[in-house]
Homo-oligomer: A and B are copies of this chain.
């Protein structure tokens, strides 16, 4: 399998064909925007591409710097507006624990994401949480609290960084 792959970076924590992964995600986003009559403008599109290029979270100003280098706008609102669009529509997520943003890995799924965040290399793996269930759901129910959204993030060490840590 190796030589077919143009790049090998971490997806979640496993290697994969990342170019393909990006292309898939972009076309899925385009389809979704078409279907939902959302306007995937050049800036929004480019920000999503930028996010997809890494499986790690990026700060708004990091993204902004890339946009600026490409002549797509240099003021903070440019990045924040695009990020708002992507996050509101489920194409990206904000990692609250890092004040940073990451492309969504499960664009079709109903959204109650949870994240595994490596504190050493910054890689992030997205998974699904079950907000209403488990302890939290029970407590909420008992308290009469209505959950509208959840933030579930775990910090720790990914497999690769555990090895390095031992060394």
Binding site for B on A (CB under 8 A): 12-13, 96-97, 99, 114, 116, 118-119, 125, 127-131, 133-136, 139-140, 143-159, 162
Contacts and interface: CB of A to CB of B under 8 A. Distances in A.
A156 B151 contact: no
Given A130-B134, A134-B130, A136-B114, A97 B151 contact: yes
Nearest to A136: B114
A127 B116 contact: no
For the complex of A and B, 3 pairs with smallest distance between CB atoms: A144-B159, A96-B96, A148-B156
Given A148-B119, A151-B153, A154-B131, A143 B12 contact: yes
B149 A96 contact: no
Given A134-B134, A158-B144, A139 B116 contact: yes
Contact of A116 (B12, B99, B143, B158): B143
Contacts of A149: 154-156
A100 B129 CA distance: 24
Given A13-B145, A156-B145, A127 B139 contact: yes
A27 to B, nearest CB: 26
Nearest to A118: B145
A15 to B, nearest CB: 13
19 contacts: A12-B143, A13-B143, A13-B144, A96-B97, A96-B153, A99-B99, A114-B136, A116-B145, A116-B147, A127-B139, A129-B135, A134-B134, A144-B162, A145-B157, A148-B156, A149-B155, A150-B152, A150-B153, A150-B154
Contacts of A158: 143-145
Contacts of A152: 136, 150-153
